[in-house]
Amino acid sequence: MSWFDHPRNVTRLYRGLWIVGGALVLADLVVHRHAETAFDGWFGFYGVYGFVACVALVLAAKLLRRVVMRPEDYYDR
Amino acid sequence: MIGEIPARLVLVAAGVLAPFVPVAARGALGVAAPLLALAQLVWIGPGYRLEVEAFGTALTIVRTDALSLAFGYVFAIAACLNGIYSWHVRRGVEQPAALIYAGAAMAAIFAGDLLSLFVFWEVSAVASALVIWAGGTQAAYRAGMRYLAVQLGSGMLLAAGAALRYADTGSLAFDAIGLASPGGVMLLAAFGIKCAFPLLHNWLQDAYPEASASGTVVLSAFTTKIGIYALARGFAGEELLVYVGVTMAVFPIFFAVIENDLRRVLAYSLNNQLGFMVVGIGLGTELGLNGAVAHAFADILFKGLLFMSMGAVLLRVGTVKATELGGLHKSMPWTTVLCIVGAASISAFPLFSGFATKSMIMASAAQEGYTVIWFLLLFASAGVFHHAGIKIPFFAFFAHDSGKRCEEAPAHMLIAMTLAAALCIGIGVFPAALYSVLPMPTSYDPYTAAHVLAQLQLLIFSALAFSWLMRNGIYPPELRSVNLDSDWLYRGLGLRLALISNSAYQSISAAIADRVITAGRMGAAALERLHGTRGFFAGTSASGSMAISIMLMLLAFLLSYYFA
């Protein structure tokens, strides 16, 4: 058994990650961000974009599976 | 002096000699030869040219400048790491082929004219195909064949493009090319195949995961980076490349998310990283070009490290399919940590190499006003963390415990991975060292508070998205499957068309043969009728009938004479 085998630890890790994420977004209030484009100066822009982008990526990839997924021996038949 | 011998020859000669060296010394040869080549490059420095007169024209077979040296250094470092990593591979064709491959790749980088480039382009293609075939399976053999066909196709385009350019300009010099002439377009296509442009990309995901544990590590370093180098040399600032590059950066990540073979996932993410480099080249700015070269340098190291960690898993467990793995951090703790260093580097975590290199390209895109491109690159950055940064270590070493227990990776593999990891962190912590070998002087500083914060937000929330999707069961499960990609055009559609056209050819030729045979039979029957034993011509006729026919002939002659 390792530390990761306990669901409780994984949940702690997960919550810890949210706390870190929250702290990073709040840091936007302190750190003056020299924006590279018109949008990325917005409060919490990178956090929101990262989260939304990854969820969108996974959902789109699930759809892609319907089109391109084949049995493992597809090319051997 | 060491500087008198062309650098690449050290490696090529080592590769040619390797089969004749006692088995015990081959490992040392594979490490020493790249070190010698590296020392030689440092010794030579920029501004060296070696010209020879051949084929009625002056060929520049060696040219060193900042651009070629940056690639040369990292090729030598990669070859050395590969030598350590594949210490156990001493018999068979793989080690000599890998050395010749690395040597030919370096030679291509230092070629100053298109003819020399073509020669080494082809040598590296053949040597790399041998590395794939050394995988030893039927799948490796077939994938190697497809790979070789594509690579030689690229060589043909290069030769044709060079010939057209020679006819146009009277020069074979390999400098900025541009797309104004048909020769330029052909050369771009040749380089595009090596860079794995969209739709020309699938040889990469098809062939690389079929090589041996060490073979894939060797392959990941060179071929695509020769393409990137050639593109940077010939087509810097070509705006088309910005759009090509961003497509490459975005589309492979969708495939990477659903791919089960973890080395194939890495091949998709290699494709995605090449996209960033192509964008940088297309921008053509100081920051963009430097970023492309820096990112190529960093990518060879962190992608090599990731492939090494998966190679170690393959060696110990016998598979790298995500469906079969999980929980390996208990058996392979060091490999786990080293893999995570590679994952952090490719994901561009602050203090790791990707952070110092990829951001140059992103910053340049933003500065040049490519806002949409910048958004897409940011999406690709989040995506690369998702599939390479999290998926690879998570499914191999954590996830649900597969129950598989194995030994830790062998010592030489751990040494190679540790060195690669040290270089990844070294570049991340002291980027100025890497910046000093870039083609142009740069004052770029990645470590501003704003940049570090932005990147950390992006990555932590990408990780949160992954965990959230996982915990809520939305994340697509790993499934044993293959995913169709553009290789389906020739492995599926092409094969079917070939089979259909073959059967069509068979039936048409059968029909034609049928007609010919029938006609022949009919002809034979007619001959038989006329000349056979009972035939008209075979019969004997009376001499009287002969006399009558002569008389009739004479009469006809007389009449014709009379009326004429």
Kindly determine whether residue B457 and residue A46, on different chains, have CB atoms separated by under 8 Å. yes
Confidence of residue B3 (pLDDT cuts 50, 70, 90): very low
pLDDT at A1 over 80: no
pLDDT confidence of residue B32: 86
Beta bridge partners of B139: none
Kindly determine whether residue B449 and residue A4, on different chains, have CB atoms separated by under 8 Å. no
Confidence of residue B12 (pLDDT cuts 50, 70, 90): low
Question: How does B384-410 read in b/e, with b if 16+ C-beta sit within 10 Å?
Answer: bbbbbbbbbbbbbbbbebbebeeeebe
Shortest CA distance to B139 belongs to which of B214, B220, B217, B207? B207
pLDDT tens figures, A25-72: 888 887 776 666 667 777 888 889 899 999 999 888 888 888 888 887
Residue B240: Cβ within 10 Å count: 12
Domain ranges of chain B: 1-215, 236-485, 491-563
pLDDT tens figures, B309-358: 999 999 999 989 988 898 899 899 999 999 999 999 999 999 999 999 99
Kindly determine whether residue B482 and residue A71, on different chains, have CB atoms separated by under 8 Å. yes
Q: What is the mean pLDDT of residues B417-441?
A: 94
Which residue is closest to B252 within chain A, CA to CA?
A: A61
Which of B122-136, B382-396, B467-481 is least confident?
B467-481
Over B494-542, what HEC string results? HHHHHHHHHHHHHHHHHHHHHHHHHHHHHHHHHHHHHHCCCCCCCCCCC
Which residue is closest to B382 within chain A, CA to CA?
A: A50
pLDDT tens figures, B76-104: 999 999 999 998 887 788 888 888 898 88
pTM: 0.87
pLDDT confidence of residue B2: 42
pLDDT confidence of residue A73: 79
Kindly determine whether residue A54 and residue B481, on different chains, have CB atoms separated by under 8 Å. no
Shortest CA distance to B284 belongs to which of B237, B250, B317? B237
Q: Which residues in chain A have Cβ-Cβ distances shorter than 8 Å to B485?
A: 68
Domain ranges of chain A: 3-72
pLDDT tens figures, B350-409: 999 999 999 999 999 999 989 999 999 999 999 999 888 888 999 899 888 888 888 899
Which residue is closest to B468 within chain A, CA to CA?
A: A14
Residues B254, B272 contacting (CB under 8 angstroms): no
Please report the ipTM that was assigned to this predicted complex.
Answer: 0.90
pLDDT at B8 over 60: no
Q: Which of B386, B457, B480 sits opposite A54 (nearest CB)?
A: B386
